[in-house]
Chains A and B, each alone.
Chain A
Amino acid sequence: MEKAIEVTDLVTHYGDRVILKGISFGIPRGKTTVILGGSGCGKSTLLKHLIGLLKPTSGNILINGKDTTVMSEDEFNEVRKKMGILFQGAALLNSMTLADNVALPIREHTKLEEPTIQIMVRMKLDLVGLSGFENFYPSQLSGGMKKRAGIARAMALDPEFLFFDEPSAGLDPVTAAGLDELIIKLRNVFKMTIVVVTHELASIFTIADCVIMLDLGEVLFAGPLDGLRASDHPRIRMFLERKPEEETYSPADYFRFIAGN
């Protein structure tokens, strides 16, 4: 399977704290890959590295065979035109209407005529089921609609790659399921390479082709979804069966811990 994104030995720090401890994996082209793991395992950090918002301490990230960690900002901006990103809170610009938000990347990166841009915007909004909302401001929309609009903006330049940061966080199950369906549609219709960061079990089993599971800054599992289901690694089973962390303290240790010595 052809790899669209390849990460090798990625090490990252927040201050002095190590977040990712030298992880390596590949993301296949034209598939939906889910990066999952518990809170604080470094999955959002990993996403920020993939889209170039953070620079790693060491390691390489190859996108379409080109190393993005050594690129200048201008070179990376060329790569970014092929990427669409949906942020956790959708991150629409609150001072602009939906139409302007979706048109923003088109206006910035192309020299298309205004009527063409308007048609493209209407197409993208229709694709995510928001036609008729062109002149609404983000603050007038519900959470699920904002995410859909965020997807429309991410799709504006017909990217090769789509990244989703916690698409179903904070949404009710029905809206979340609708969003999952949209993700599947995007992959099937546009053959995009989709990377989703999430910890929602339900959506993982619906949308994922491949899974990368992170735990404590290391890759616990990387491979197709069936492999994850069949895995008998205790941490993976805990995650899939929603078991809580085991008690880490004995009662005596706990007493010593709260007494402060």
Chain B
Amino acid sequence: MPVTAESLFGFIGRRTVSFLKNLHDAALLINNTFYWTFLSPFKGKPIRVRASISEMVKTGYNSVPIVAVISFFVGIILALQAAYQLRKVGALIYVANLVGVSITRELGPILTAIIVAGRSGSAFAAEIGSMKAAEEVDALVSMGINPVRFLVAPKLIALMIMLPALTIFSDFIGILGGLLLSKAALDINPYNYFQQTVNSLLIKDVMTGLVKAWAFGVVITVVGAYQGFKVEGGAEEVGRRTTASVVASIFLVIVFDLFFTTLFYYFT
């Protein structure tokens, strides 16, 4: 069809223009989010403490059970997989090192981030999206209340605090899972396992995990809020944007994980 051939450049152009617009919107949102969270409190516009605490309960406290169960299982799985190889060389006690290091450096932060992205990232997008669809965001603007300050800043504060906290919790439970499995199936004395873990772990292992968790918290909040504010139509689009927010935030969490892991590999 000639129409298609003619419009190839048009197609590329339209895609580029809309991509640049999305990029601009995202940059603006990130800028606003950081401004209203970190700078405006010093200019007499305090953050909403009560809303932040309520977000912390929703995003952090309420995800404790699921994070605990998943971390516990992953700890067991890791110990089993490690034992499978280490048994051959008769170095079963190194299961402790392997579980400890991989949980604190990698799996703790990323598992927590993926659970929180699925629970809270989607909730952010759905909440802001349905408020947008019901003109509630317009109502906030017309009352002279910045919607980013009102809606996004408490969520960012909540995730910046709760994601590292959940990560520490996940580290503990994961290591506990490895310890119990080693006691039950590998006949390793729990005290030896504990000693081995403590000796193998460095402060920086835990710290890099926490830095990652902090960054994941920012990513999940910004992606959820971005998708929420993008809603223009009704309920159907809220659903679509919610799905998109989960997919995008998990993807971006892994991209940032790659970035930080590379960074820490060379610079710590």
* Contact surface of B with A, Cβ cutoff 8 Å: 131, 134-136, 138-145
Partner pick for B143 among A80, A89, A94, CB 8 A cutoff: A80
Asked if B144 and A94 sit within 8 Å, CB to CB, the answer is no
- Is A41 interfacial (CB 8 A cutoff)? no
Residue of A nearest to B45 (CB): A108
Chain B residues touching A, majority SS: helix
The residues of A that contact B131 with a CB separation of less than 8 Å are: 93-94
Bound-complex Cα distance A232 to B171 (A): 79
Asked if A91 and B136 sit within 8 Å, CB to CB, the answer is yes
The residues of B that contact A83 with a CB separation of less than 8 Å are: 142
Residue of B nearest to A101 (CB): B139
* Contact surface of A with B, Cβ cutoff 8 Å: 48, 51-53, 77-78, 80-81, 83, 85, 87-89, 91-94, 104-105, 108-109, 153
Asked if A105 and B143 sit within 8 Å, CB to CB, the answer is yes
The residues of A that contact B134 with a CB separation of less than 8 Å are: 89, 91, 94
Asked if A91 and B143 sit within 8 Å, CB to CB, the answer is no
The residues of A that contact B144 with a CB separation of less than 8 Å are: 77-78, 80-81, 105, 108-109
* Given A105-B143, A109-B144: A88 in contact with B135 (beta carbons within 8 A): yes
CB distance from B63 to the nearest CB of A (A): 20
Asked if B138 and A91 sit within 8 Å, CB to CB, the answer is yes
Asked if A94 and B136 sit within 8 Å, CB to CB, the answer is yes
Residue of B nearest to A93 (CB): B136
Asked if A91 and B145 sit within 8 Å, CB to CB, the answer is no
Question: What are the 8 A-B residue pairs with the smallest beta carbon separation, nearest first?
Answer: A91-B139, A77-B144, A80-B144, A91-B135, A87-B135, A85-B142, A105-B143, A91-B136
Residue of A nearest to B51 (CB): A95
* Given A108-B144, A109-B144: A85 in contact with B139 (beta carbons within 8 A): yes
The residues of A that contact B143 with a CB separation of less than 8 Å are: 80, 104-105, 108, 153
CB distance from B90 to the nearest CB of A (A): 59
Interface centre among A48, A51, A91, A92 (most CB of B within 10 A): A91
30 contacts between A and B (CB under 8 A): A48-B138, A52-B141, A53-B138, A53-B141, A80-B142, A80-B143, A80-B144, A81-B144, A83-B142, A85-B139, A85-B142, A87-B135, A87-B138, A87-B139, A88-B135, A89-B134, A89-B135, A91-B136, A91-B138, A92-B136, A92-B139, A93-B136, A94-B131, A94-B134, A104-B145, A105-B143, A105-B144, A108-B143, A108-B144, A153-B143
Residue of B nearest to A73 (CB): B146
CB distance from A78 to the nearest CB of B (A): 8
Bound-complex Cα distance A153 to B145 (A): 14
Asked if A51 and B142 sit within 8 Å, CB to CB, the answer is yes
